[in-house]
Amino acid sequence: MSVLIDRLSRIVGARHCLASAEELFVYECDGLTLDPVRPVAVVLPADAAEVSGVVRVCSELGHPVVPRGAGTGLSGGAQPIEGSVVVECSRMDRILEIRPEDRVAVVQPGVINAELSTAVAELGLFYAPDPSSEQVCTIGGNVAENSGGPHTLKYGTTTNHVLALELVQSDGERLRLGSRAGRSREFDLVGVVVGSEGTLGIVTEISVRLSPIPEGVETLLAIFDDTVSACRAVGSIIRSGLIPAALEIIDQRTINAVEDSVYRAGLPRDAGAVLIAEVDGAPCSLPGEVERIGECAREAGARECRVARDEAERARFWRARKGAFGAMGRLAPDLYVHDAVVPRARLPEVLEKICEIGDRYQLTLSNVFHAGDGNLHPNISFDRRNAEEVERVIAAGREILETCVAAGGVITGEHGIGVEKRDYMKLVFEDEDLLPMLYVRDAFDPERVFNPTKIFPTTRFCFESNPRARGYDRVPFK
């Protein structure tokens, strides 16, 4: 091991190569806390050249590489693997270029999401993808997860905002993909890398699209007696032809956790759910849109609709929404944040079933989610020191995913597969569907250096018994 640490230290400097038990302890997991694993080392490179050197050494000595941003991922993507080296990109945090006339910024992967919008605000621009973790998560992590956020409904996910990338491959070579001009005639390899969860290489530079800050914005809080009525309102708002910037639902248990926390916003504690609806664009169009949303909400049973009076109140609504996961820390030491998508029209019935599953397993389940996208986040508060409770958490989680798939949905909207859901892939994919993904991974990373145990099921593929006959001549996983 000392050979590895010695060689890594020579590349990044001894200060930036962590190998003591105390230092490694904090890297044992990301936001998925169920199954911590200690890496053999953590390195913090300063630039792409150092990343290349580190990857070369790991490949040569046979250590898997786990790329890491801020470690806020919720599916175990940055969770170490036995014998792995974690490559944390937090020191690569420079905005390299801002080109307002092209509406493009070039950034290193460790740039914090919200800091890019702050940096370009004086130019009248912002970076649209806004995960609720925006104050800490990195753009490199967002690229790997194809992250979304409350404003995905109108602006799309990370993939809609990435123009070009630099990727360090397993032999240490640096590959440039895409074009800052935003048009490319080649295969969409940028699109392949976005959302590949750190399995194809380490992203060391990203060119992103910037958007103009909307001239006007209005935010409305609709208050309901129950979550199902709030879901019905979402369906009817979309049916009315509007494309709001955001439609987010917060249920009663979450409201109370938020109101007990530093994120309190004056949300009504007795409400079954609130819907935050936001519209943005030309100021003259907004009052009419707010009125239509209010009508849809009232028809679905809203007992009150409040329009934020000023920017301060609007910011309070969003602080409550974006701080909701943090506020859950008041309910139990651990939180399992689920993530699945169902067709919007099925939201009311699926949500009822999810609550029934939580009750049946006697779990503390709450919901705060991107309702406009049908992207559910059933959250289970629990204590991982209680093994029996953990078993119930996992069993309930599986049933929740099965329910979403049965309703025509998928097993992740934005948090990725990681280690958390790799064995649920077969709920939505046949072996034949997984083959092209394996080919792509092997084309980029034939030696499976990067995140080798992530995404793909650990259970055997049926074509392994005669792989060549099925057109695949490699063992699908190590």
Residue 70 beta carbon to ligand FAD: minimum distance, rounded to whole angstroms: 4
154 binds ligand FAD (CB under 6 A): no
Residue ranges in 409-468 that form contacts with ligand FAD under rule CB under 6 A: 414-415, 451
Structure tokens at 406: 């049965």
Cβ proximity to ligand FAD: between 53 and 109 the closer is 109
Choose the binding region for ligand FAD from 133-141, 278-286, 311-319, 422-430 (rule: CB under 6 A).
133-141
Which of 128-136, 288-296, 300-308, 395-403 is the region at the interface with ligand FAD (rule: CB under 6 A)? 128-136
The three-class DSSP label of residue 315 is helix
From candidates 44, 52, 145, 331, binder to ligand FAD by CB under 6 A: 145
- Asked if residue 106 binds ligand FAD (CB under 6 A), the reply is no
Question: Is residue 52 at the binding interface for ligand FAD, with CB under 6 A as the rule?
Answer: no
DSSP class of 299: H
∠308-312-315 over CA atoms, to 5°? Answer: 80
Of the ranges 65-73, 244-252, 308-316, 358-366, which one interacts with ligand FAD (CB under 6 A)?
Answer: 65-73
Residue 300 or 342: the one with the smaller Cβ distance to ligand FAD is 342
Choices 41-49, 143-151, 361-369, 425-433; region in contact with ligand FAD by CB under 6 A: 143-151
Per-residue DSSP letters for 393-459?
HHHHHHHHHHHHHHTT-BS-SSS--TTTSGGGGGGT--HHHHHHHHHHHHHH-TT--BSTTSSS-SS
The residue count for the chain: 478
Amino acid at 302: A
Q: Which of 39, 64, 73, 195 binds ligand FAD (CB under 6 A)?
A: 73
CA distances from 224 to 153, 270, 315 (A): 22, 9, 21
Q: Which of 148, 195, 457, 476 binds ligand FAD (CB under 6 A)?
A: 148
Q: Which is nearer to ligand FAD, 58 or 302 (CB)?
A: 58
Q: What is the dihedral of CA 184, 188, 194, 196, to 10 degrees?
A: -160
Contacts of 241 (CB under 8 A, 6+ apart): none
As beta bridge partners, residue 43 has 17, 87
Return the biggest CA–CA distance within the chain: 69
Angle subtended at Cα 65 by Cα 472 and Cα 468, rounded to the nearest 5 degrees: 5
Residue 71 interacting with ligand FAD (CB under 6 A):
yes
Q: Judged by CB under 6 A, which stretch of 32-40, 198-206, 269-277, 387-395 contacts ligand FAD? A: 198-206
Judge whether 265 and 316 are in contact, CB under 8 Å: yes
Spatial distance between the Cα atoms of 294 and 285, rounded to a whole number of angstroms: 15
Binding window for ligand FAD (CB under 6 A); candidates: 15-23, 141-149, 295-303, 459-467: 141-149
Out of 70, 120, 347, 411, which residue is the one contacting ligand FAD (CB under 6 A)? Answer: 70
Question: Least distance to ligand FAD from the beta carbon of 74, Å?
Answer: 5
Q: How far is the CB of 194 from ligand FAD (least distance, A)?
A: 10
Nearer to ligand FAD, 111 or 401 (CB): 111
Residue of the chain from 11, 12, 31, 452 that contacts ligand FAD (CB under 6 A): 31
* Other Cβ atoms closer than 10 A to 465: 9
Could you tell me if 40 and 85 are in contact, meaning their C-beta atoms sit under 8 angstroms apart?
yes
Nearer to ligand FAD, 142 or 227 (CB): 142
Q: Under the criterion CB under 6 A, does residue 149 sit at the interface with ligand FAD? A: yes
Q: Is 166 in the site for ligand FAD (CB under 6 A)?
A: no
Q: Which stretch binds ligand FAD (CB under 6 A): 3-11, 125-133, 217-225, 348-356?
A: 125-133
Q: Which is nearer to ligand FAD, 229 or 451 (CB)?
A: 451
3-state secondary structure 192-240: HHCCCCCCCCEEEEEEEECEECCCEEEEEEEEECCHHHHHHHHHHHHHC
Query: Which residues, listed in sequence order, are joined to residue 207 by a DSSP beta bridge?
Result: 106, 164
CB of 319 to ligand FAD, least distance (A): 13
Size of the site for ligand FAD (CB under 6 A): 37
Q: Which two tokens stand for residue 368?
A: 């705060």
For ligand FAD, the closer CB: 325 or 361: 325
Q: State how far the Cα of 92 lies from the Cα of 76, in Å rounded to an integer.
A: 22
Q: Which residues bind ligand FAD (CB under 6 A)?
A: 30-31, 66-74, 77-78, 89, 109, 131-133, 137-138, 140-142, 144-145, 147-149, 197-198, 202-203, 325-326, 414-415, 451
